[in-house]
Amino acid sequence: NLRANSVRWTEHFSPIATPDSSPLGRIAIPIFDELFGLQGYDLKDLYKTQTPKSLIMKNPDYHGSAWYPCSTFNSPTLIVVEDLLSAIALREFGIDSTALLGTHLSDAVVEQINDQDYKRVVVALDQDATAKATTLVVSGALNNAHLMILPKDIKNMTLQERVALLEPYRATTPA
């Protein structure tokens, strides 16, 4: 449920517009920090007709990733993904998630993730970034890191595909 995750449709959100790109007809997806403080928005073109497909507008002093913790359960697992829609899909499935907003794992994000003390941090980047995900896990920068090779992007999976892949990571202890 996108509305439950503060996602809103917008026809006029931002003055950012170029001949190739317009903020019209984008959804505004909030970027939260690990304490659920609002740090900005990703203006996403769901129809794939605009360039760029995402306009990231966030607090210039915030260098972390976008967090979508599961509010119902205490999750021992954090899954690191590239994009906000995949992070939201994981949260709705009962799994804490954070979106890198790309594939780069900065020192600030490593510190932010490691400070949360998860028992398992699963790096699950899109198929085209599997090599990058492997490098992130092998580097040892993230505590308790594991690699998940995705058959396709989480946001594009059916419910049955998500259940088959993610059920072992789902939180079961009430908060």
161/164 Cα distance (integer angstroms)? 5
What does DSSP assign to residue 71?
S
pLDDT, tens digit, for every residue of 30-80?
999 998 899 999 988 877 788 888 889 899 999 999 999 876 667 889 999
Q: Say what the pLDDT of residue 12 is.
A: 46
What does DSSP assign to residue 174?
B
Q: Say what the pLDDT of residue 169 is.
A: 84
Measured in Å, how far apart are the chain's first and last C-alpha atoms? 21
pLDDT, tens digit, for every residue of 94-111?
899 999 999 999 999 999
69/127 Cα distance (integer angstroms)? 23
110/107 Cα distance (integer angstroms)? 5
Q: Where are the beta strands (DSSP E) in the chain?
A: 8-10, 26-32, 38-44, 54-58, 66-68, 77-81, 96-99, 120-123, 145-147
